Amino acid sequence: MTSFWFDPWLGGAPLRTQFQRLFQVSAQSTSMVREMGRWFEGQWVWDLRWRRKLFVWELNLLERLHEILDRSIISTVDDSWCWKHDPSGL
């Protein structure tokens, strides 16, 4: 499973480092990606929750986060690891 805030699943760095302030006020700081939204009529809908109402300047950060999230592709297939044999033995 992939951690929404702690794993570098978007942009090469964890979202908690890209959006530190939003991470601090998130009510879902330990949630997995699959727990941060839901499927609705065949589309993934993000459902981010906050411990308090966001300030105006935090809403700007949230807009930037949504721009990144909206470019992601969420699949119904569970994450998995796959190792491919390398003929060199490495």
The 3-state DSSP class for residue 44 equals strand
The 3-state DSSP class for residue 31 equals coil
Q: In the chain, what percentage of residues exceed pLDDT 70?
A: 90
Q: Residues 7-30: what's their mean pLDDT?
A: 96
State the pTM of this model.
Answer: 0.81
> Chain-wide mean pLDDT for the chain?
91
pLDDT confidence of 11, banded at 50, 70, 90? Answer: confident
The region of weakest confidence among 15-19, 60-64, 68-72, 77-81 is: 77-81
CA angle 28, 12, 88 (to 5 degrees): 125
Please tell me the distance from the alpha carbon of residue 86 to that of residue 90, in angstroms, as a whole number.
Answer: 6
Q: Decide: 5 and 16 in contact? Cβ < 8 Å.
A: yes
Task: At 16, give phi and psi (nearest 5°).
Answer: -65, -25
Please tell me the distance from the alpha carbon of residue 42 to that of residue 60, in angstroms, as a whole number.
Answer: 28
What are the residue boundaries of the structural domains of the chain, listed by start? 15-70
For the chain, give the number of residues.
90
pLDDT confidence of 87, banded at 50, 70, 90? Answer: confident
